[in-house]
Homo-oligomer: A and B are copies of this chain.
């Protein structure tokens, strides 16, 4: 019972038997169907529509175009609202956009009695455009005189920030004699989340209010953004989130719920459903940001990192979404993960282009930042002939680290221990030596990467969570969280937490998996690896209140001081002797039905979190590179995590497995591609290459379990970190195996073969 046990997921049976209810399972029988009309240019302006043929399609109820929507611009990212205007997200899109900024932009929508009619009408709508040349890369967007994509940002720059750690400048620092300097560019590609369940919602009106049932990570934020987009009070919107089939940050954006809500108001409040296709999901939702890092670094020959300076350029795509927050987050890992003896200079840009909008994705900019820092670490170690692991041990984050700007502190520190475990697992020292001088077409190598990740968004943004517990007549309770289960197991660990705090066994804790903004205590939702930390604090606080109310009632019943009693295993016991005094069921029955003193015992509380801590870890990998074929086989891989006390070891392991698998896809195959007019080339799961179970090697995990003093149960971030380190670890292993340093992702056969040819490992055509 309680924390630290591997309780079977509370939703396990439902999920494997298919009875768990998702949006599609809840759709009313008579829902209308909405389909979005997407632009067929990437940059330009809609001049007019010809709806005549489309309106003739039997079953078409309503067609709404960008000329019909309210004149409100709204933001989409799932950030907590800020009462300070300067900190609010960029509101740069309308429900439907006349100014087209991406191939597939939302320009109109059809509502019909059924999907066939809706799709047919969509195809029959004719659009006249004013067409501009598409801007598909950051360089082009930042050019003097480039087409302006959003008039509020005439330079196409969404965000720009810089920071410095240490004194002086990089140029001053490298005046020191004997330094080895490097100048590098590292670049990551856009990829997509590919959650199983596509974005899906339905909306209807009830008592003059709009109800939206949606597959989202952030129901309370969806409510707010719908209010903003439609220009109505937020309380007029009700958002309900059932089970969802994954999100990974894509459902931390408010994607199509505002349009869905609006469409329902246009058909008299009738229920309208809006479910994207997979093709739309890949082309019209969000991607991981492609970021280019231009770096200079200087190192002493003894391995001391002396100075770094870098500029990061993040391709935002068409709309701001989470925008600059992501490249800025990625930049932080430079300062947090490594200490430059003299100075670190950082400058980051986020730039609008006509690419698919980039948004939040698991680990929020850190995989990109870590790709740069961890490739650089190896490249610097190579440059001075040092073991990359030793280089890291010498320069990496130390116990007690405090971020100089945010003051986030590393309250528990297991990084060195993680490195030690990984080193032993992969047999680092032996294999670094063994694989030194390979020849032949198949070569092996070992590589590593380290990482850190903060827990939640404090102090950059608000961290708050609420919880409610409701006692039943049999002594069981409902646990009602504002925080959301999105597949990660949140409901299971919250149940364990509640059990730990209240003394009620998990089988008597019925967690409500559905969040409903009308009744659910407020919480900002699932992102930033925050819930087990921040929302866990709310469970702890609420559980204590509930237990105190229970013991107060026990005092009334038993005429024995509350503070001499406790709740254990569903029993009221004497605190000292553990003697069972009363079952919780007996107490509850009396509390419900007492003619003298009746009380429905419930508890509800908000916990505001004003703390943060770093989780860290390392990835070690052994690869075998088939040079002629350009393929990389993962011989062995391990993620070692310092994520504090594990709430549920099996779930923790599963979380890491999922992250590693995602990281492998990111490293080896996934990339969204465009043609020259900005049209996605592979927005489907045949052409977009995600790893399948067949592609996935055995995934090893290990944990350094240290109680974090700030975590509600000694825990800290674990949701996102697992997906961070695979790309640089594998890239570094390939470097070890082949001597070739790949500086862009993904590391697919096409790229490897070309590069190996370049480096003479494969002979070109006509060569022998």
Contacts and interface: CB of A to CB of B under 8 A. Distances in A.
- Greatest chain B CB density within 10 A among A11, A204, A208 is at A208
A442 interface: no
Interface in A471-518: 472-478, 480, 482, 508, 510, 512, 518
Interface in A83-121: 83
Given A25-B28, A28-B25, A234 B472 contact: yes
Contact of A462 (B28, B475, B598): B598
A597 interface: yes
B510 A209 contact: yes
A362 B13 CA distance: 44
A435 interface: no
A258 to B, nearest CB: 16
Contacts of A80: 593
Interface in A227-263: 227, 233-236
B600 A473 contact: no
A556 to B, nearest CB: 13
B476 A83 contact: no
A29 interface: yes
Given A466-B600, A519-B519, A606-B600, A11 B510 contact: no
Interface string A567-601: 00000000000000000010001101111011110
Contact of A207 (B11, B473, B518): B11
Contacts of A19: 204-206, 269
A508 B475 contact: no
Interface in A589-648: 589-590, 592-595, 597-600, 602, 604, 606, 608
A472 B520 CA distance: 11
A233 B11 CA distance: 20
A482 B482 CA distance: 21
B604 A608 contact: no
Given A473-B234, A478-B519, A519-B519, A604 B606 contact: no
B512 A518 contact: yes
B462 A593 contact: yes
A538 to B, nearest CB: 10
Interface in A518-560: 518-519, 521-522
A589 B83 contact: yes
Contact of A604 (B227, B592, B604): B604
Given A83-B590, A480-B519, A472 B235 contact: yes
A351 interface: no
Given A80-B593, A81-B593, A521-B602, A474 B234 contact: yes
A696 interface: no
Nearest to A20: B206
A393 interface: no
A470 interface: yes
- Greatest chain B CB density within 10 A among A204, A518, A589 is at A518
Given A83-B590, A206-B14, A207-B10, A602 B600 contact: no
Nearest to A601: B606
Contacts of A478: 518-519
- Greatest chain B CB density within 10 A among A80, A598, A602 is at A598
Contacts of A81: 473, 589, 592-593
Contacts of A11: 207
Contacts of A14: 206-207
A217 interface: no
A448 to B, nearest CB: 38
B510 A519 contact: no
A11 B224 CA distance: 25
A354 interface: no
A309 interface: no
Interface string A211-228: 000000000000010010
Nearest to A513: B207
B83 A593 contact: yes
B518 A208 contact: no
Counted per complex, copies of this chain come to: 2
A438 interface: no
Contact of A594 (B83, B208, B235): B83
A11 B234 CA distance: 20
A336 to B, nearest CB: 22
- Greatest chain B CB density within 10 A among A80, A82, A585, A592 is at A592
Contacts of A209: 510
A281 interface: no
A238 B302 CA distance: 68
B269 A522 contact: no
Contacts of A235: 472-477, 508, 510
A464 interface: yes
Nearest to A470: B519
A220 to B, nearest CB: 9
Contacts of A512: 518-519
Nearest to A477: B235
Contacts of A592: 81, 464, 522
Contacts of A29: 29
B510 A207 contact: yes
Contacts of A593: 80-83, 462
A511 to B, nearest CB: 8
A473 B482 CA distance: 15
A598 B464 contact: yes
Contacts of A473: 81, 224, 234-235
Given A14-B206, A81-B593, A269-B19, A233 B474 contact: yes
Given A10-B207, A208-B13, A510-B207, A462 B604 contact: no
Nearest to A588: B235
Contacts of A474: 227, 233-236
Given A208-B13, A522-B592, A599-B606, A233 B476 contact: yes
B233 A600 contact: no
A29 to B, nearest CB: 5
A510 B518 CA distance: 9
A224 B472 CA distance: 10
27 contacts: A11-B207, A19-B269, A29-B29, A80-B593, A81-B592, A82-B593, A83-B589, A83-B590, A83-B593, A224-B473, A233-B585, A235-B474, A235-B477, A236-B474, A462-B594, A466-B600, A470-B518, A470-B519, A478-B518, A478-B519, A480-B519, A482-B600, A510-B518, A521-B602, A598-B608, A599-B608, A600-B606
Given A233-B585, A599-B608, 17 more contacts: A11-B207, A19-B204, A19-B206, A81-B589, A81-B593, A83-B589, A224-B473, A227-B474, A233-B474, A234-B472, A234-B474, A235-B473, A235-B510, A464-B598, A519-B519, A521-B602, A598-B608
Interface of A: 10-11, 13-14, 19, 21, 25, 28-29, 80-83, 204-209, 224, 227, 233-236, 269, 462, 464, 466, 470, 472-478, 480, 482, 508, 510, 512, 518-519, 521-522, 585, 589-590, 592-595, 597-600, 602, 604, 606, 608
Q: Which 3 A-B pairs have the closest CB atoms?
A: A235-B476, A235-B472, A522-B600
